[in-house]
Structure 1
Amino acid sequence: MGEYVSVGSLTAYLATGRSNGPGMLLLPMITGIGEQVRDGADELAGRGVTALTWDAFHGRSTDNSTVDELSELLAKLDDDAALAEQTQLLDHLLGDLGCSKAGVMGWCMGGRFALLLGARDHRLAGVTAFHPTVPSQLRPNQTHDAIADAAGIAAPVLVSYPSADHMVTAADFEALQTALHSRPSGATFSLFHPGADHGFTNRDRHDKPANAAAFQLAWPQALTFIDTTTASATG
């Protein structure tokens, strides 16, 4: 089981894998460091991967806040401030925690930030983005275009897109794929899930069969992707 730790002025959830082994920076969806994110970090640690989770809302999550309250915080989130916090956590994974390599995995808003961070920090061994919230129209609090910036990612990328995504149109996802395919290095693996919704990985949405089926296919693919990019000796 993991624990909450301090990294400088930040709080994060840490689940420790094997000593000097691989690491993963986890960037959650709007739920913050909720139960499912903690469970995912613990699962990775059980596979030997040290998982460190970004606390996007500084102590607020679905454990103690409503989704509406978290949505208000999300609308105030500053791109550059968030990226600075994520970089600090990545420094901690590769520095104090002694991880040999590190990747990043994000969901929804965290999937967007995984792409943005991957474009800026080429220490990352892999980028995994589940249903990233990357509409072509930026919100007022957003300063970076994740679709355009994705062309700057050097590492391999695994991205999952649900066909019933109400946040990101099929055209926007195709634009993201075009940007990723334009890269001179770094393989792109795209998963397309017919009938699944935005946020299909959230187990609260698994009463819809298409969402449950999408998760059952996508999560093992992500674990394999981590094994071959971050956990392997040569990936």
Structure 2
Amino acid sequence: MGTRISFKRPDGKDAEGYLAKASKANSPGVVVIQEWWGLQDQIRGVCDRLALSGYEALAPDLYSGTVIPYHDAEAANREMQSLNFIDATDQTVRGAVQYLARTGAKVGITGFCMGGAVTVIAAARVPGLTAAAAFYGLPPAEVAGPKDIRIPLQGQFANKDDYVTPDAVNAFEAGLKAAGKPYEFFRYDADHAFFNEQRDVHERKSAELAWGRLLAFLKSHLG
């Protein structure tokens, strides 16, 4: 449904990503951030689903073409550890936001796992964003803490998550509440990455509920 495109980062360098267009011109935009596996088919599928729901969706390729097989967590971790998260957010993600905002449309962001952490960082650092929705991902507090969030934030988390633990989610939520930030958090009795239908941890009921909540959040803030 979509196509691979090039777009400019604020520093003038080229970046690439997967763009799925909505049927209506000047539709709101959503930047979609990959898991640590790279720009997998599943992430492109999220873009396609968002396009069918009325959003122009762009997934920037943060690994520059590298895609990791789902079974190779060691390689995925190695690729993630080599990523400069601040450069990826301030330059590649911001470039994607600017690309989607070129028509004057509102732009939001969502991301999964590693992409969830990038989404939270973007909510603190990237101008031009209207709302952010993170799936089971949080950054280190020194990179972006609750008090740094500048836009409405939705969080969708798994209660059986060994990566982004319930305690970490509770602490971040408490920080958001204390700082008076606009947010909504949801928790599911599922495993990390429950939304990814290509993984054996996929939990359909939770994923469908999370998708509906994402669309409601985007509709509320982007239109």
TM over 0.5: yes
> Is the contact between residue 12 and residue 53 of structure 1 (CA under 8 Å) also seen in structure 2?
yes
Give aligned-pair identity as a percent.
25
> Partner residue of 2:175?
179
Matches within 5 A, 1:113-192: 113-134=118-139, 144-146=142-144, 148=145, 150-186=146-182, 188-192=183-187
Deviation at 1:62, TM superposition (A): 4.0
Equivalenced residue count is 216
- Over 3 Å counting, the alpha-carbon distance change for 1:159 and 1:67 in structure 2 is same
Contact 1:135 1:169 in 2 (8 A): no
Q: Give, in angstroms, the shift of residue 183 of structure 1.
A: 3.6
Q: What corresponds to 2:2 in structure 1? A: 2
Instruction: Tell me the secondary structure at the aligned position of residue 203 of structure 1.
Output: coil
Aligned 1:37-186 pairs, distance under 5 A? 37-62=43-68, 66-83=72-89, 84-95=91-102, 98-134=103-139, 144-146=142-144, 148=145, 150-186=146-182
Match of 2:194 in 1: 200
Structure 1 position 41, deviation (Å): 0.4
| Aligned mates of 2:120, 2:201 — CA distance in 1 | 29
**Aligned-partner Cα distance in 1 for 2:42–2:104:** 24
Cα drift, residue 43 of structure 1:
1.2
Match in the other structure for 2:213: 221
Aligned Cα root-mean-square deviation (Å): 2.1
C-alpha separation in 1, matches of 2:201 and 2:86: 36
Unpaired stretches in structure 1, ≥5 consecutive residues = 137-143
Question: What amino acid is the match of 1:226?
Answer: L
Q: Is the 1:3–1:13 Cα contact (8 Å) retained in structure 2?
A: yes
Structure 1 residues 171 and 185, CA, compared in 2 at 3 Å: closer, same or farther? closer
Residue 60 of structure 1: SS of its match in structure 2? coil
Contact (CA 8 Å) 1:153, 1:183: kept in 2 or not? no
What SS does the corresponding residue of 1:48 show, helix, strand or coil?
coil
| CA positional deviation for 1:133 | 4.2
Amino acid in the other structure paired with 1:7: F
Which residues of structure 2 form unaligned runs of 5+?
9-13
Determine the C-alpha separation between the residues in 1 that align with 2:140 and 2:167. Answer: 9
